Amino acid sequence: MHRRTLLKLGIGATVILVAAGGGVALLNPALSDGRLSDSARAVMHAVARAVLDGALPPAADERDKAIEAHLQRLDAAIADFPSATQAELSQLLALLAAAPGRVALAGLTSAWSQASVTQVQASLQGMRLSSLALKQQAYHALRDLTNAAYFSDPSAWQRMGYPGPSDI
């Protein structure tokens, strides 16, 4: 295959993916009143398990509580985002929540709720290392949102051994 043909194929696939994502987002928005829908929560729950692996409490019940608190902080943060940012995030999460978008954008064949931590980590790594800027941007958005919401909680600092900010 010639380079020009490969570039056209890549651009065409990206256009189709973006168009499909817009359609999915209109039919099943991932955010409602600035809060994650159930399908978006499933995506972010899986992403949190993968990104925060090692930082989460080791006991299953404590880990589940930490992730639930994380998702609540994420909801609060998203509610404060400008409407344009909320719209973009809603499109991304709606695309990732739909099976075709999940496979095309994240390369994950299992449903988010069924995927193992290792599978989600491999999927995120594939997005991070992709030659498509769209996949890289999606990866960075997911990772940055996850880290910001999780590490904004002082109880996460204690688990890492960080004493917190110094009094000035």
Q: What are the pLDDT digits (tens) for 102-119?
A: 999 999 999 999 999 999
Q: What is the DSSP string of 42-72?
A: HHHHHHHHHHTTTTS-SSHHHHHHHHHHHHH
**Amino acid 115: pLDDT:** 98
**Amino acid 161: pLDDT:** 84
Q: How many CA atoms lie within 13 A of 27 on its CB side?
A: 9
**Amino acid 26: pLDDT:** 46
**Amino acid 25: pLDDT:** 46
Report, as ranges of residue numbers, the positions in the chain whose pLDDT lies below 50: 24-26
Q: What is the pTM (predicted TM-score) of this model?
A: 0.81
- Neighbouring CB atoms inside 10 A of 164's CB total 8
**Amino acid 30: pLDDT:** 75
Whether 97 and 42 have beta carbons less than 8 Å apart is answered as yes
Q: If you search the block for the tokens 């398990």, which residue do you land on?
A: 49
C-alpha 36/C-alpha 81 separation (Å) is 13
C-alpha 12/C-alpha 8 separation (Å) is 6
**Amino acid 158: pLDDT:** 82
Q: What token pair was written down for 93?
A: 């999460």
**Amino acid 8: pLDDT:** 64
**Amino acid 10: pLDDT:** 67
Q: What token pair was written down for 145?
A: 């949102």
**Amino acid 35: pLDDT:** 86
Instruction: Show Cβ contacts of residue 43 under 8 Å, excluding neighbours closer than 6 positions.
Output: 30, 93, 96, 97, 112
